[in-house]
Amino acid sequence: MDVTLHLAQDPEADALLGRSPLAALTGMLLDQQVPMEWAFKGPATIAQRLGADDLDAHEIAAYDPEAFAALLSDKPAVHRYPGSMAKRIQQLCQYLVEHYDGDAEGVWRDAATGQELLKRLTDLPGFGKQKAQIFLALLGKQLGVQPKGWREAAGAYGEPKSFRSVADITGPESLTKVRAHKQEMKAAAKAAKASGK
């Protein structure tokens, strides 16, 4: 894995996301209730605070939970909820150590079909169906991981030339389009709720 992603909108953080499967998974895990750039910059911030140039699932899984939470809480915090996210990241890393010997890329390396890959992703702690489908679309659209039926398994996020999620962000212009789509979806959901539907 060595591609250029543009999710953190920060060259160093994006370089890490493009070369490190664990950083990409961690960024996706952090991508909730904070701006996307903040979430995807998180893995680089964590690596820097650990004094490393990459994340190591074995190291994070074995890290003292209070110390790891403090590491994420230091200013600027890695997430709006650094304590709960520290716990989730450790759970993800513990799962990867237990099931993939700490190798995050093992989650998708030999997946034969999109459905198999989606199942593996939804099995990860902190990955519900939507998050798993978005990450599957990111793997397929930008990281060259395209098992048979990956677009179908990713649902609407797998559609070509759509601007629905982080899977579609390749620079500032596409970021603007994805933001606009998300705002339209929020407005539609708000309108539906207001009308009692």
Quote the DSSP letter at residue 153: H
Cβ-based neighbours of 185, under 8 Å, separated by 6 or more: none
pLDDT digits over 90-111, tens only? 999 999 999 999 999 999 999 9
Using CA atoms, how far apart are residues 11 and 146, in angstroms rounded to an integer? Answer: 26
Note the pLDDT of residue 1: 58
Note the pLDDT of residue 166: 84
Nearest by Cα to 154 from 143, 163, 141, 144: 141
Note the pLDDT of residue 189: 78
Using CA atoms, how far apart are residues 16 and 53, in angstroms rounded to an integer? Answer: 8
φ and ψ of 148, to 5 deg: -50, 130
CA 184 vs. chain centroid, Å, equals 22
DSSP 3-state of 52: coil
Nearest by Cα to 8 from 44, 51, 32, 59: 44
Using CA atoms, how far apart are residues 35 and 7, in angstroms rounded to an integer? Answer: 11
Over the range 114-140, which residues count as b (16 or more CB within 10 Å of their CB) and which as e? bbbbbebbbebebbeeebbbbbbbbbb
Cβ-based neighbours of 173, under 8 Å, separated by 6 or more: none
All residue ranges of the chain with pLDDT < 70 are 1-2, 197
Residue type, 110: D
Contact indicator for 116, 148 with CB cutoff of 8 Å:
no
